[in-house]
Amino acid sequence: MEQAKVNIPKLFVCTVIENKDEIEERYERAYTFLQSLIADCSEKEAHDALNNAVCKNHEDISLGMLLSILTEPHNATKCYRDLTLITRDGLTCVLNNLSNLILERYLRFHDTTRNQLLWLIKEMMRNAVTGVDNVCRNLMRYASGGDITPKNIYLVESLLDIYIENKVWLEKFPMLICMVVYTYLRLIEDHNVPHLMALRQKEVNFVIALIREHFTDVLSLGRDLVRLLQNVARIPEFHQLWQDILTNPRSLCPNFTSVLQILNTRTSRRYLQSRITPDMERKLVFLTSQVRFGHHKKYQEWFQRQYLATPESQSLRSDMIRFIVGVIHPTNELLCSDIIPRWAVIGWLLTTCTSNVAASNAKLALFYDWLFYDPDKDNIMNIEPAILVMHHSMRSHPAVTATLLDFLCRIIPNYYPPFSDKVRQGIFNSLQQIIEKRVLPNLQPLFDSPKLDRELRTTVRETFKEFCSNSNGEGASGVREEGLDDLPKMESDEPAFSDDEDEPHNNLTEDTDDDDIPLSEVRARERPELAAALPLILRPFAETLLDERSTTATKAFINACGSPMPTASSLADLFAAIFQDAPPVKITSNPTPTELEAVLDSPVFAMFTYLTEGTEAKRKLVLDIFKEIHVQSSFQNIGFCLLFYLKVCYERDRKAERDGGRKKNVKFKVDVYKNYCNYLELKLADNLAYDFEKCQESDANLLVWLIPDIYREFKDQAQNHIKLLNVIVSTLDAVQLQRLVCLTLQGTLMMFKSDDITTMLSTSLGWETFEQYCLWQLLTAHDISVEDVLPIIPKLSYKGHAEAVTSVLLMLKQERPTADVLRQMFCRTVDDDDTFVVSTIMYWCQDFEDKVGDLLSVLLSTRYPGTSPNKRKRPGKQSIPPNAPPSAEQVLGHLEQIRVRCVEQEDMSIFNMECMQKALQHSQSNSSDSLRRQYSQLFSLAWEDELPISRRARKLISNSLPLNQNLHSSNEDSEEEEIVKPKQAKRRKKAISDSE
């Protein structure tokens, strides 16, 4: 046994300071167990022993063989053959462990192990092993950009040869094709050196072939495909591809119309992640989630030595910036913490660029999502780092901000001149979103900073004039600019500092690099002098409030406000700064009173007390502050915070009422919110929806917790409000949906009303699948009648509105057939793949065949005015209203579908009914020749004048049931009469019973 341990082959390269880890020990144990089974055995004996052992120790046997394949080339072929023979899971266990080995330990593999890994992947491709494509994707991540060392080039070329050799296998995996194209497009850029030209040409030929042959799949790569194609556009093959993309797009794909189609598609995170090795990814994630600002320089220096020290690594910075921008999206907690933010890491990467080409590519990588930004499709987290890099670099690295602003201005006309308007619109959309989402409250200090040279400032102001001044000619800071010429001018011989010397030289704090201090201190230094805008008597209270951010300090400040009264704008600036730094409002799904009171310990909730309990003067003061904050759009969460506060007060009063044992007439203080909306000149219903949208962004539990009270207290505004409802259903998970359904069944929640519900249902057809699922579950819980959904039945597409079609179908299943329902159903477009009408009719026929037959015959007869529908008129029958009746072609088309289904089920009883026979005869005699030919098989059912007793009646007789003499409707029956015959078993089950 000791000898076996000594001879265990090594999977990893180990140093003297590295101990074996759990992974290595696990593989060694598996290898030892494998050898104990097959040592000194003949091939047949070894195979029998493995087959016996694999039932109980499948994973150990698999891992032992995997280690042998990866470390013993001379045994690999035999071992792989045995592995395929004894596997019980199609090699799933081997593939999963192989993927984990690659992601976690590839860099420690011996050269032999790396060679054997490639051999094993090639063998698995030849044998079409399911799941090997995932192993390929993981391994390709180590084919790193910015690295032309022999080991990396060997991996790049070996994988390329494998794909070329197994191209037929590769073409079965569209996602892997996209990954291969994305990877090698990026690598071609680095291989522009003499000794790699042969490899580069091989890569070019292969990638060009893949793109042209699978252009439809490659389109899914999105806008970063264009970015990579730009970097290799001078290569002749890619130049020709560009010509086809720009001038003859349909030659590449019938559905491809313009390069704009690609640029408007955001690249999936998986592709941005694929150009960073797993090891780099772990380091960058650690840097942006664990390292505190001010303690990060040693980590950055190590990272630069490890990955960014060579000239070739210049191009790697673009990959890293795209990864940070598109993949690393920190939580609100991280954003509010002292962890190094993304903008600081990106700023460091930009400052380490020494090549002009690499610097330009890095800036393009940073701004790339800005160029064609669509707020409805793109993510604000992808554009946030760029604006924050410019904002924060202005103080300590103004050259960085200047070069980024210059790049942003120049890229509009120069990126692609025919699309300059679209690029401009994308950048403007980005800046507008930045303002709306409060990433920065004001762009004027950035765009008009005195640290920028005059020429650049002029360019920026001309390019982004919408963000530099408002309609009154005032800058974003509120200072009127048109009157600058009226200010007293300095004499020409008077000494003056240049723009670059405006800052006082003795202010050492300003010159200190922000990288050397904690993030909290950076924020404190950048905080505007809010207290200086207040009256002298209030400044100590304001300083205390800015330091403590507590409810006590808030109330002390509000109480101190008097004469002289500060301006609303200065107060709004002060409180907006405080609110922005407050943690987001969050609760658990079932918050306790203690938890709720803890959440209320915040300045914004302290201000709400003046709206419910304060004097008129203080109430007006607080409302003025809120109104100014709303006008400035500096903090947008006040509304839902107020709703939360009112709900907490309501629950607190109810608890006191229960504990006191006496009625206090507790009410939800709905007037407070209404007064708030009126004072801010907001429409109540729309503002409720807006506040719920902001609540959704903060916390889903809080939104669900508010719903019952909002729909109770604001019933007229909330019920059937489309936007409010969409915000709710887009937030819910399954547990929260169940909670709302339960509240509805208990009678404490009413979200819908019958009035104008059709508009809401029609609008909802464009929602996401789970949103529509939630809506219809809530509608079902509210017992919305089928009459309310009838108007949308003709509009429903079985493909485009599958969720609504399914829900309406299940709703009709619970109803009885009526003339109104059938009329709306038969107004649907006839489509062989659409089984909505035929499914409903066939289900109803199981219990209400007579009624269905009567209704269908009347519907068919009334489509032919010449047949005198009054011939079948009965006492009490209501005529079919003329609103959107189905055409004769629609009725015949649906009846033909029903006929085909009846033929398949071998039961034509509904067509054998007397009323249906007469209706078919009448419609045949009044139809055009083309309709008769089109529905000849349907009309052939009506050839006989005298009809035998129907099959349905025969079945009733055979079952010894008394035959109702009035089974078929007579002239005296009412079209809408109640059917009281006992419910019969479904025909399918009945047939089984008869056969038995």
- pLDDT tens figures, 573-621: 888 888 877 778 888 888 888 888 888 888 888 888 888 888 888 888 8
Clarify whether residues 443 and 341 are in a common domain: yes
Backbone angle region of 495, left / alpha / beta, with phi > 0 → left and psi within -120 to 50 → alpha: beta
Question: In Å, how far are 154, 642, 678, 714 from 671, measured between CA atoms?
Answer: 73, 12, 10, 10
For residue 680, the enclosing domain spans 519-718
426 in Cβ contact with 415 (< 8 Å) = no
Clarify whether residues 389 and 277 are in a common domain: yes
514 in Cβ contact with 400 (< 8 Å) = no
- Listed residues 691, 718, 745: the one ending a domain: 718
Tokens of 47: 């195979």
Clarify whether residues 279 and 186 are in a common domain: no
- Listed residues 467, 483, 505: the one ending a domain: 467
Q: How far apart are CA 771 and CA 732, in angstroms?
A: 8
* Widest distance between CA atoms in the chain: 121
3-state SS, residue 474: strand
Question: Is 69 part of a structural domain of the chain?
Answer: yes
Question: Is 809 part of a structural domain of the chain?
Answer: no
Residues of the chain with confidence (pLDDT) below 70: 1-6, 15-19, 469-532, 660-664, 865-884, 943-996
Q: How far apart are CA 750 and CA 766, in angstroms?
A: 24
Within 13 Å, how many C-alpha atoms sit on residue 321's CB side?
33
In single-letter form, the type of residue at position 948 comes to P
Tokens of 748: 């404490």
Name the burial class of residue 840, with classes exposed (0-12), middle (13-18) and buried (19+) by CB atoms within 10 angstroms of its CB: buried
Clarify whether residues 300 and 226 are in a common domain: no
Q: Which residue has the tokens 């980024």?
A: 404
3-state SS, residue 663: coil
Q: What is the pLDDT of residue 175?
A: 93
HEC per residue, 123-179: HHHHCCCCCHHHHHHHHHCCCCCCCCCHHHHHHHHHHHHHHHHCHHHHCCCHHHHHH
Clarify whether residues 668 and 584 are in a common domain: yes
Q: What is the pLDDT of residue 532?
A: 65
In single-letter form, the type of residue at position 93 comes to C
Question: Is 812 part of a structural domain of the chain?
Answer: no
Clarify whether residues 220 and 275 are in a common domain: no
Clarify whether residues 377 and 421 are in a common domain: yes
Question: Is 748 part of a structural domain of the chain?
Answer: no
Question: Is 788 part of a structural domain of the chain?
Answer: no
Q: How far apart are CA 239 and CA 225, in angstroms?
A: 15
Rg of the chain (C-alpha set)? 37
- Angle, to 10 degrees, between the axis of helix 356-371 and the axis of helix 223-231? 160
DSSP secondary structure code for residue 9 in this structure: P
Q: What is the pLDDT of residue 854?
A: 87
State the pTM of this model: 0.54
Clarify whether residues 164 and 65 are in a common domain: yes
- Overall domain count for the chain: 4
Clarify whether residues 138 and 228 are in a common domain: yes
Distance of CA 698 to the CA centre of its chain: 16
In single-letter form, the type of residue at position 652 comes to R
Residue 516: enclosing H or E segment and its boundaries? none
For 178, list phi and psi in degrees, rounded to 5: -60, -40
Question: In Å, how far are 546, 566, 629, 631, 671 from 624, measured between CA atoms?
Answer: 20, 11, 9, 11, 17
Clarify whether residues 97 and 186 are in a common domain: yes
Q: What is the pLDDT of residue 963?
A: 35
b/e code 116-133 from CB counts within 10 Å (16+ = b): bbbbbbbbbbeeebeebb
308 in Cβ contact with 254 (< 8 Å) = no
Q: What is the pLDDT of residue 191?
A: 93
- Listed residues 718, 750, 783: the one ending a domain: 718
3-state SS, residue 356: helix
Question: Is 290 part of a structural domain of the chain?
Answer: yes
Closest CA to 851 of 733, 698, 964: 964
In single-letter form, the type of residue at position 447 comes to F
Question: Is 967 part of a structural domain of the chain?
Answer: no
Clarify whether residues 217 and 349 are in a common domain: no
Question: Is 745 part of a structural domain of the chain?
Answer: no
Q: What is the pLDDT of residue 481?
A: 38
Clarify whether residues 326 and 438 are in a common domain: yes
